[in-house]
Amino acid sequence: MTTLTQRELDELLLQYDEWLRNDAAGKSPVFAGMDLSGLELKRVNLYHADFRGCTLFYFPACPCEGSFIGYKKAVTESGYAIVRRYIPEDAKRNSATSYRCRADRARVLEITDETGRALEEARSGRDESFVYRRGQWLEVREFDEDRWNEKTKGIHFYLSKEIAMLY
């Protein structure tokens, strides 16, 4: 396992900051297999960073047990909607280093447009052919249980409407 110094970490974070501001320059940090013990990471945006196999602990944003509500931004003919989902107690779920969570099962409880008006359906912003319908159960059979694979198979959601609207 590779050990980073604070100076090496700071240099990687500078490159990452450049990447966030300008995709053409800098790069997303890769910490896979590194020992980051004792390094200062406060107030650092590590969205999209790769931490597979490294010794750094991130508390998951997603609840580890019990049922709860999750939110997803969707698309309507006139703008955006929020899809309110029930994540059951027995659903597999995880999250990596951001506010994004994933589960293998969820039920669409409610869909509301930007004004709060109830809707029967809305479309996915990622896949126009996918339609969310009120009352519908969603299931991903090939759910990726590796929490560090943030953008992989699963039903993606956030724990608040406000965060969901940002994405």
Q: Is a pLDDT exceeding 80 seen at residue 51?
A: no
Three-class DSSP category at 95: strand
What's residue 26's pLDDT? 61
What's residue 25's pLDDT? 65
How wide is the angle at C-alpha 21 spanned by C-alphas 47 and 154, nearest 5°? Answer: 30
pLDDT tens, 105-150? 999 999 999 899 999 999 998 888 899 999 999 999 999 988 888 8
If one compares 154 and 22, the residue with the highest pLDDT of the two is 154
If one compares 165 and 45, the residue with the highest pLDDT of the two is 165
| Gyration radius of the chain over CA positions | 18
Q: What percent of the chain has pLDDT over 70?
A: 93
Neighbours of 154 (CB within 10 A): 24
pLDDT average, residue stretch 32-53? 76
Neighbours of 126 (CB within 10 A): 9
pLDDT tens, 58-91? 678 899 899 999 999 999 988 999 999 999 999 9
- Distance, C-alpha 59 to centroid of its chain: 14
Three-class DSSP category at 134: coil
Instruction: Report strand pairing: 2-3 vs 34-35.
Output: parallel
Whether the model pTM is above 0.85: no
Q: Is a pLDDT exceeding 90 seen at residue 37?
A: no
What's residue 20's pLDDT? 76
Task: Tell me the average pLDDT of the chain.
Answer: 87
For residue 27, what pLDDT band results from cuts at 50, 70 and 90? low
What's residue 125's pLDDT? 87
